[in-house]
Structure 1
Amino acid sequence: MRQGPDLRGDQIPSEIPSVLTKRMCLSQVNGIYDPLGLVAPFTIKAKILLRKMWGIKLDWDDSMPENMRKDWIEFFKELFEVADITFQRCIKPEGVDSQTKPTLIVFSDGSEQAFGTVAYIRWMLNDGRYVSNLVASKSRIAPIEVASIVRLELSGAVLNKRLTCFIKKEMRLQFDREFHIVDSEIVRSMIQKQSYGFKTFVATRIGEIQEATEPEDWWWCKGELNVADLITRGKTPSEIGPESTWQRGPTFLQRPIEEWPIQQSCSEGNLPERAKIIMVADAREADTLANRIDVSRYSSYNKLLRVTARILAIYDNKNFSSATKVLSAEDIQRAEIFWIKECQKPIMKTLNDDKVTFDKMYAKLCPQVRDDGVIVVGARAGRYVHFSYNKQEVPLLLYRHPFSKLYAVHVHNRGHPGVQTTVSKIRSKFWIINLYKMAKSIRHHCVPCRRQEKDMVGQKMGDLPLARLKPSPPWSYVGVDLFGLFTTRGEVNKRARGKAYGVIFNCFTTRAVHIDLAVDYSSTGFLQVLRRFVSLRGYPSEMYSDGGSQLVGASKELKQVTEGWDANKLHEFGISNGMTWKFSMADSPWQNGVTEILIKGVKKAINHAIGNQILQFHELQTVFYEVANLVNERPLDDIQLIRKTEFIFVRTISFLDEPQEEYPADHGEKLTTLDIDLNSCRTSSRHTGSSGPETTSHLSS
Structure 2
Amino acid sequence: MKVHLFGATSSPGCSTYGFRQMALDSQAEFGDGVTNFLLHNFYVDDGLISLPSVDEARNLVVSSMKACKNSGLHLHKFTSNRKEVLDVVEKDDRAVEVQNINLDKSVIERVLGGQWCILSDAFKFRIVVSDKPYTRRGILSTVNSVFDPLGFLAPFILVGKLILQELCKENTDWDAPLSDHLRPMWERWRASLPLLVDLSVARCFKPDNFGLVKSAALHHFSDASEKAYGQCSYLQLIDENNSVHCTLVCGKSRVAPLKVLSIPRMELLAATLSVQVSSVLTKELDIQDIQHFFWTDSKVVLGYLANEARRFKVYVAKCVQYIQNQSEISQWKYVASTDNPADHASRGLLASDLVQNSLWFSGPAFLRDPECNQDSHSPKVVDENDPEVRSKNVAFATTHTNDAHAEFDLNRFSHVSSWDRLLKTVALCLRFKEILLSKVRKRTLKSISGPLTVDNLQEAESCVVKLVQRVSFRLDYEALRRMKCAPRSSRDKKSNHQLPRSSIIHRLDPYMDDAGIVRVGGRMPIASGIVAHPAIIPRKGHITSLIVRHFHSVTGHQGRGMTTNAIRSHGLWILGCSSAVSQQIYQCVHCRRTRGAVQEQKMSDLPSDRVQPFPPFTYGAVDYFGPVFDQGR
TM-score of the aligned structures, taking structure 1 as reference length: 0.43
TM-score of the aligned structures, taking structure 2 as reference length: 0.47
